[in-house]
Amino acid sequence: MSVRVKKPIRFIFFLLLTIAFIFAATMFALKYLLVKFIAEDEPTGIEVVQNSPENKNPEPTPTVEPTSAPTVAPTSSPEAKAVSANTSIANQDDGKWNLVLVNKNSPLPEGFSPTLSNIDSSRKFDSRAIGYLNAMLAQMRSDGVGNIWAQSTYRPHSTQINLFNESIQKYKNQGYSAAEAEAKTLQTINRPGTSEHELGLAVDFNYVTNDFKNTAEYAWLIEHAQDYGFILRYPANKVDKTFVNYEPWHWRYVGIDHAKKIKELGFCLEEYIEYLNGGNTTTV
Ligand SMILES: [Zn+2]
């Protein structure tokens, strides 16, 4: 009788022991696999970037980046590469190429030729800045002020020469002298070599008219363009410094830190460069 009772108890005991062992082995294996998968994901940097404070907004806006660090961050850091891959924004502000001053007293060197990328089939922009332009336009459309397009961007030197000469000829045909025709042309067209459009960092929006200043798109740019590294290049109150009349349609890429600082100081680019040459830095 006692043997009959003990046998089932032993059987159940061993059964439970076996189940416990299998359970423990399974849990161990699961834990090992889980740790392994997490460890394999980390080196991609994608999770790290998505969870970082800079990337809470799914739209690739550089707006929440800290003021001083990002645009001077080394391009070789893994995080910078990950951000670039995620947002198509190259982070290559060395404080030189993006602050090149072009005006009537400061022409581009002969043979200047920037590295360009295509905005569409006919328009080009500096390859290092095109990501910022595209991100800005995308954000405008996302914010409901999407009646915006880049009408005129990079202009080859030869095109600027043609524009300039055609305008002079037009005024001559109207009876103006050569000197008068050139003076009238210079009111709206920069002398070849002194146009920012040859630099590849300037963009004229929409119909390139003064009416642009009355649009929601212009108001948006005035409020946000600095977050994408753009400044209104020819403000109404800086004509004596820029030598160019107020152009609400013409925006210039200078980099985020510089654009923010220029706006904060209420400077035009000429004044800002003078300010930097005076020993100040963007982190002041
Ligand atoms: Zn322009």
Q: How far is the CA of 90 from the centre of ligand 1 (A)?
A: 23
**What mean pLDDT value characterizes the chain?**
77
Same domain, 6 and 124: no
pLDDT tens track for 231-276: 999 999 999 999 999 999 999 999 999 999 999 999 999 999 999 9
Same domain, 40 and 76: no
Q: pLDDT category, 77, cuts 50, 70, 90? A: very low
Distance CA 72, CA 84 (A): 14
For the chain, how many structural domains are there in total? 2
Quick check: is 204 in a domain?
yes
Q: pLDDT category, 52, cuts 50, 70, 90? A: very low
Question: If residue 151 lies in a helix (H) or strand (E), which one and from where to where?
Answer: strand 150-152
Same domain, 7 and 145: no
Q: How far is the CA of 114 from the centre of ligand 1 (A)?
A: 17
Same domain, 221 and 145: yes
Q: Report the SS3 class of residue 33.
A: helix
Residue of higher predicted confidence among 171 and 12: 171
pLDDT in the model for residue 280? 78
pLDDT in the model for residue 188? 83
Quick check: is 263 in a domain?
yes
Residue from 65, 198, 217, 247 carrying the catalytic annotation: 247
Quick check: is 60 in a domain?
no
Same domain, 107 and 222: yes
Q: pLDDT category, 198, cuts 50, 70, 90? A: very high
Write out the residue range of the structural domain in which residue 20 sits. 2-44
Q: How far is the CA of 54 from the centre of ligand 1 (A)?
A: 32
Quick check: is 142 in a domain?
yes
pLDDT at 30 over 70: no
Quick check: is 149 in a domain?
yes
Whole-angstrom CA distances from 67 to 13, 91, 109, 187, 258 are 68, 14, 32, 37, 9
Q: pLDDT category, 187, cuts 50, 70, 90? A: confident
Q: How far is the CA of 117 from the centre of ligand 1 (A)?
A: 18
Same domain, 7 and 77: no
Q: How far is the CA of 192 from the centre of ligand 1 (A)?
A: 13
Whole-angstrom CA distances from 189 to 101, 167, 202, 204 are 17, 8, 14, 13
Give the domain CATH number at 101: 3.30.1380.10
Same domain, 132 and 229: yes
Extended strands (E) in 207-249: 230-232
247 as an active site residue: the answer is: yes
Quick check: is 111 in a domain?
yes
Same domain, 212 and 125: yes
Q: How far is the CA of 197 from the centre of ligand 1 (A)?
A: 6
Same domain, 77 and 12: no
Quick check: is 19 in a domain?
yes
Extended strands (E) in 5-136: 116-118, 124-126
Quick check: is 217 in a domain?
yes
Distance CA 95, CA 254 (A): 9
Residues in contact with 265: Cβ distance below 8 Å, sequence separation at least 6, in sequence order: 271, 272, 275
pTM over 0.85: no
Tokens coding 85:
């891959």
Same domain, 151 and 92: yes
Q: pLDDT category, 72, cuts 50, 70, 90? A: very low
Residue of higher predicted confidence among 206 and 72: 206
